[in-house]
A and B are shown apart, each in its own frame.
Chain A
Amino acid sequence: MSAVRPGAVVVAWTPDAFGEIALAHGVHEATLRGRDLMVVNATKGDSLVDPAYAGSEAMSSLTDTLAASGLAHEVRQQVGLDVAEVVLELAREVDARLVVVGLRRRTPVGKLIMGSVAQRVILDSSCPVLAVRPGETPS
């Protein structure tokens, strides 16, 4: 059972500038639309250290930010086969109205080799996706 009501805004979050801007937009959108907020942080778990997977410090600062927003929210951390798949699966689960992702700058070669989580989410999502870059703060 999820703590958020169906139709929530899902934010694909990482403990860096990209996650931060996605979260800011996610909070903004959820407040505007009167929806709950679902924050997901996922990793493939195939390397010993993944900077995109939040540690306890980053998690507690995330919790503080969410508490300050006053929204009903839930945070999930997950290890899965594919990060984009984890995000999309969660979006289906909560019947998401919007998915927010942070866009990384990737070279074509980098995209070819490593793939892009944001790209996969945008292409495969069944609901609207908001793709944001650092610097594009919500008004």
Chain B
Amino acid sequence: MGDLDLLWGGLQAAATPENLMYAAIGVLLGTFVGVLPGIGPAMAVALLLPVTFGLEPTSAFIMFAGIYYGGMYGGSTTSILLNTPGESASVMTAIEGNKMAKAGRASQALATAAIGSFVAGTIGTLLVAFFAPKLAGIAVEIGAPSYFAVMVLALVMTTAVLGASPLRGFIALFVGLTVGLIGQDLNTGQPRLSLGLPQLIDRIDIVVVAVGIFALGEAFWVAAHLRRTPLQIIPVGQPWMGRDDWRRSWKPWLRGTALGFPFGAIPAGGAEIPTFLSYVTERKLSRRGDEFGHGAIEGVAGPEAANNASAAGMFVPMLALGLPVTATASVMLAALQGYGIQPGPQLMTEQSDLVWTLLASLLIGNTLLLVLNLPLAPLWARLLRIPRPQLYAGILFFACLGAYATNLDAFDIGLLLAFGLLGLTMRRFGLPVLPLILGVILGPLMESKFREALALSGGDYSGLLSEPLAVVVYVLIALLLGVAALRTRLVPVRADAPDPDRSDDELVSR
């Protein structure tokens, strides 16, 4: 049980007053951004990146982890009280949760979401502590060709299989990969796509891309749709649960955790599928199936647990392989690189202190979430009254500050604006953001593995298939693409497909 000892050591390292403070800040900030639709944890982490460069990596990551979990939790509050999912993974929670709230059971819905998140997050984090070192142990053995194949798998999965439209996904992916190409070729030193601008040779800072797409893109979008009829919020008191609610909730929590974690952990995560599966499972298993659609507590407990378990599962590929599968993970990975820490299989051994402290702080953050958020729910609901002009003015200020702080060069502000317009355009045409961010971050990493594999085989492309694992992964990709193609063939276009002009959660990915 060496891992448990390490986790215990991490817990001791994380439990300093300073780190606890960062965990609390992260959790509060995360809930704040999670509650407000349109602002997600990815944007919050991106905005905070420049601020945290002065901190110890451990403290910064404790805060980021708090933001991530807090964001997951905050989304459920908005879903339940307002029927507006704060982030895409809360869509399922909104279905039953809002019905419950309308039936006067908002307190119970909020409580089951919060406690379910806590249960799933804790189990999920323990599972991460169990699986990530094992996976990393295997991952250090695999060579460049297999590593490249796994990255292709992650990109194809997030782009073609998970999204609503593979075409839109691939457009976003290739835009991202192209942005990732800008700058000096790492092998030959040649400038690429630099348009003769010296600032571009130095590669575009991921902070500028992330902040531009998430923060500016969203701010422009909101500015274009500033005045809307306000939504009706359901007033809420203190969250609490009766004995019957506990009895009906605990099984969905565990089932949701079991569904959510694997989906987060495979290098193509995303909480949309497991939350959906959990909802369907609960509806099928429930003895009160007729309550579904009218506010069944199982329909909140299950998806909300699945959501948080998959949020935890995401740390497995991120820590063990250096592969981010959500937008927030991508930005966190960029932060790692900012500290000069190379993400990848070596991370577990070379930076084991950081990793174990991070995992321990996830447990702490999760507990803090429960302690802070159950009593604060009415306060979070008040956040929704913040006028948008003031809110987004603040976001724009921090966005520009962050972009300028990366290089102290006004050129980055221009770049930020360009990416903001790109974000607005993508939002307008319903292009998903996650493939783009993954492309920007994984592109250079993929390229180096690709060239490494080719160098090993002397430039022969068959070198990419020289490892059995690589072949298996490519077969898997082919299968998944086949399934995705079949699915689109068999299932006619969904009637509830999001309308890019109206949907609020298009840009908000985790």
Contact = CB atoms under 8 A, between A and B. Distances in A.
Contact of B227 (A45, A49, A51): A45
B233 A49 contact: yes
Interface string A36-62: 000000011111111101011000000
Interface residues of A, number: 15
A47 B227 contact: no
Highest count of chain B CB atoms <10 Å: which of A50, A56, A81 = A50
A50 B385 contact: yes
A79 interface: yes
Contacts of A56: 232
Contacts of A53: 229-230
B82 interface: yes
A119 B231 CA distance: 27
A48 B384 contact: yes
Given A44-B227, A46-B227, A55 B232 contact: yes
A79 B231 contact: no
Contacts of A51: 233, 385
A48 B229 contact: no
Nearest to A53: B230
B232 A48 contact: no
B376 to A, nearest CB: 17
Contacts, number: 50
A70 B128 CA distance: 68
B384 A49 contact: yes
Given A47-B385, A47-B387, A55-B232, A79 B84 contact: no
Contacts of B270: none
A47 B233 contact: no
Contacts of A47: 230, 384-388
B40 interface: no
A46 B386 CA distance: 8
Interface residues of B, number: 18
B243 interface: no
B37 A48 contact: yes
Interface in A100-121: none
Interface string A71-111: 00000000111000000000000000000000000000000
A44 B228 CA distance: 8
Name the residue among A47, A53, A55 with the largest chain B CB count within 10 angstroms.
A47
A48 B84 contact: yes
Contact of A46 (B36, B232, B233, B387): B387
B229 A49 contact: no
Nearest to A113: B390
B389 interface: yes
B227 A48 contact: no
B226 interface: yes
A8 to B, nearest CB: 25
B228 A79 contact: yes
Interface in B488-503: none
B389 A46 contact: yes
B245 to A, nearest CB: 26
A65 to B, nearest CB: 20
A134 B228 CA distance: 30
Interface string B379-408: 000001111110000000000000000000
Contacts of B37: 48
A81 B387 CA distance: 13
Nearest to B235: A51
A80 B226 CA distance: 11
Interface string B220-250: 0000001111111100000000000000000
A48 B389 contact: no
A79 B229 contact: yes
A132 to B, nearest CB: 25
B505 to A, nearest CB: 13
A85 to B, nearest CB: 13
B385 A46 contact: no
Contacts of A46: 226-227, 387-389
19 contacts: A43-B230, A44-B387, A46-B388, A46-B389, A47-B384, A48-B36, A48-B82, A48-B231, A49-B82, A49-B231, A49-B233, A50-B230, A51-B233, A51-B385, A53-B229, A56-B232, A79-B228, A79-B229, A80-B227
Given A45-B230, A48-B230, 16 more contacts: A44-B227, A45-B226, A45-B227, A45-B228, A46-B226, A46-B387, A46-B389, A47-B385, A47-B386, A48-B82, A48-B385, A48-B386, A48-B388, A49-B230, A56-B232, A81-B227
